[in-house]
Amino acid sequence: MKFMIKGRKVMGGAGEGEALVSKEPLSFLGGVDPDTGIVVDKQHDLYGKRITGKVLVFPRGKGSTAGPYTIFAMSKRGNAPVAMINLHSEAIIAIGAVMAGIPLVHCLEENPLERIKTGDYVRVNADEGTLEVEVCSGEKGERE
């Protein structure tokens, strides 16, 4: 099964891949290791997960204004997500996405944290503000 969600572009471009979804805000500075792309914040629900190459879905960023530099460093090291989706992007994530060239959308017509699940395959066209989501089914992660 597939569905579409429309939102607003923060940083243009396109990216696609497996979704990694968190209902918690994420701090990139100190919360994500830029050398591995692994979430190292032990209090975060994505602790131990690698965000590299994923479509990262989370409500918003938090923490230090140095967070954009961590996102940029991840991009330069090949450890960044291929796209990001927020409920409402704030300056930390928006600036990081622009610096790193990572497509970013927010303010979607439906709550992406309720519609998109980890493992779903998501195509982000930030220029158009659209997401195409292919729902993953079964325990083997097969798409419908």
- Residue 66: CB atoms within 10 A of its CB come to 12
**pLDDT at residue number 14:** 98
Q: For residue 40, what pLDDT band results from cuts at 50, 70 and 90?
A: very high
In a domain, 117, yes or no: yes
- Mean pLDDT, residues 53-77 taken together: 96
In a domain, 85, yes or no: yes
In a domain, 16, yes or no: yes
In a domain, 58, yes or no: yes
Percent of the chain with pLDDT over 70: 95
In a domain, 144, yes or no: no
pLDDT over threshold 90, residue 139: no
Q: Which of 36, 9, 40 lies closest to 102, judged by CA? A: 9
As beta bridge partners, residue 137 has 142
Q: Give me the half-sphere count of Cα atoms (radius 13 Å) on the Cβ side of residue 48.
A: 2
pTM: 0.94
What gap in Å lies between CA 134 and CA 144, rounded to an integer?
7
- CB-CB contact of 60 with 87 (8 Å): yes
Q: What is the CATH number of the domain that holds 7?
A: 3.50.30.10
Residue 59 is part of which domain span? 2-138
In a domain, 78, yes or no: yes
Tokens for 62, please give them: 């938090």
Mean pLDDT, all residues of the chain: 95
In a domain, 143, yes or no: no
Percent of the chain with pLDDT over 90: 92
> Number of structural domains, the chain?
1
In a domain, 129, yes or no: yes
Burial class, 42, CB count within 10 angstroms (exposed 0-12 / middle 13-18 / buried 19+) = exposed
Q: For residue 137, what pLDDT band results from cuts at 50, 70 and 90?
A: confident
Query: Could you read off the pLDDT of 51-63 as tens digits, one per residue?
Result: 999 999 999 999 9
- Mean pLDDT, residues 18-43 taken together: 97
Q: Among this protein's residues, is 64 annotated catalytic?
A: yes
Q: Which of 64, 75, 89, 137 is catalytic?
A: 64
Query: Could you read off the pLDDT of 12-23 as tens digits, one per residue?
Result: 999 999 999 999
